[in-house]
Structure 1
């Protein structure tokens, strides 16, 4: 069943063409973008995310995956750079897609939702990025952490903020360092929103455990407590069989 208010479903999508029927459910723009990726891994992640999203939403909405239509109208300014939303068929369901390393996942909710996974890659200079990602209060906390835990803490902040800005639809229009959250060793919660652009409403933030080499978070714009359910996306969906309930 599709999620109801107060529920968010998170599905991990398998990577690799063998898991998917092909690219025929994608529209022309999606197929062209898929073809432009030079690295096989990038093409596989794109296929998993975009075919998987269409199959899942088509299942929920009772239409073939290829008939799910999307728009990118920003809900803040009306321009065409916004977060993708379903415009055909009409629905209140929202979704958020993320990929990093060996993870591709989608969150679906009845309220605006954002999902983000961050791989703890060794090549990222977190010290150089810290002032643009962390607010002054967060930066003071982060610089006091032991070196062995500081890197994971940084990516914990980053995943939470990416998820939040995906849910609000602000994206890069709101600097991350204007947002203050609880430290990553505490339950995720918004402490202060100091950006010029207003926040859309109450925020529910949740960390997700996706393994030792990643951090992940989901944000839902809702005044209700949100129940997060998680499951592996089943290969049976591509064959038209019924999805199991996430648990």
Structure 2
């Protein structure tokens, strides 16, 4: 069965990427990503070539690399896919390196907070009332996870050293407000989009410059 006709499709503002959300346990997550890339690149889904081994260390971690297709200019495509609680989220685009975060509110605990979230992010979570706090915390965690996956194999040791926050100018899109040396000068152009995947989960897509 084809996955994309049943998926919820959206675009990430002006960042040139598309996202697909599918709540169907029968469809393999990699199929959703293949079909999304095929749709965006106008190629057959069976021709899409994905590599899941890290180019740096050979391990299967983080987002996949897209070996085919390429753009007319010869540049590559970028994408990511995650699956949680029966929901698959995929993202693809040809302009920027991408990463996904997908989190269930209430998951994790204090150790995750200490490792992943900056004190500025924890303070923003604490500003919510008690009922809204689990979802706000999951949103902060999803954004940070998306950024780490977009960065890929790197020397970043402490994600909690980085802080992400939204602005009044663009609600639903977080930027880096406190950076780490491992990110370098690109931090000013990093954008992390909140993605609607329904009430049960929280998702975010990081877009590198």
TM over 0.5: yes
- Within 5 Å, which residues of 2 pair with 1:213-232? 213-222=200-209
Provide TM-score, normalisation by structure 1.
0.62
Q: Distance in 2 between matches of 1:135 and 1:190?
A: 11
- CA positional deviation for 1:191: 0.7
The answer (yes or no) to whether the contact 2:101–2:204 under 8 Å persists in 1 is yes
1:162-192: CA deviation from partner (whole Å, max 9, x where unpaired) = 1112222147954321210116996422111
Query: Which protein is bigger by CA-based radius of gyration?
Result: 1
Residues of 1 paired with 2:159 and 2:51: CA distance?
Answer: 25
Equivalent pairs counted in the alignment come to 187
Partner of 1:120: 105
Give 1:85's aligned residue: 65
Q: CA offsets per residue over residues 113-138 of structure 1, 9 Å max, x none?
A: 122222224xx343342211211232
- 8 Å Cα contact 1:153/1:184 also seen in 2: no
Does the 8 A contact of 2:82 with 2:88 survive in 1? yes
More contact order relative to length (CA 8 Å, sep ≥ 6)? 1
Q: In structure 2, do the counterparts of structure 1 residues 192 and 55 end up closer, same or farther at CA, with 3 Å as the change threshold?
A: same
Q: 1:8 to 1:149 in 2, by over 3 A?
A: same
Q: CA deviation digits over 1:38-93, x for unaligned, max 9? A: xxxxxx6xx2x112222333454555434432235656xx3323631111344521
Q: C-alpha separation between the residues in 2 aligned to 1:172 and 1:101?
A: 31
After superposition, the Cα gap between the structure-2 partners of 1:146 and 1:172, relative to the gap in structure 1 and judged at 3 Å, is farther
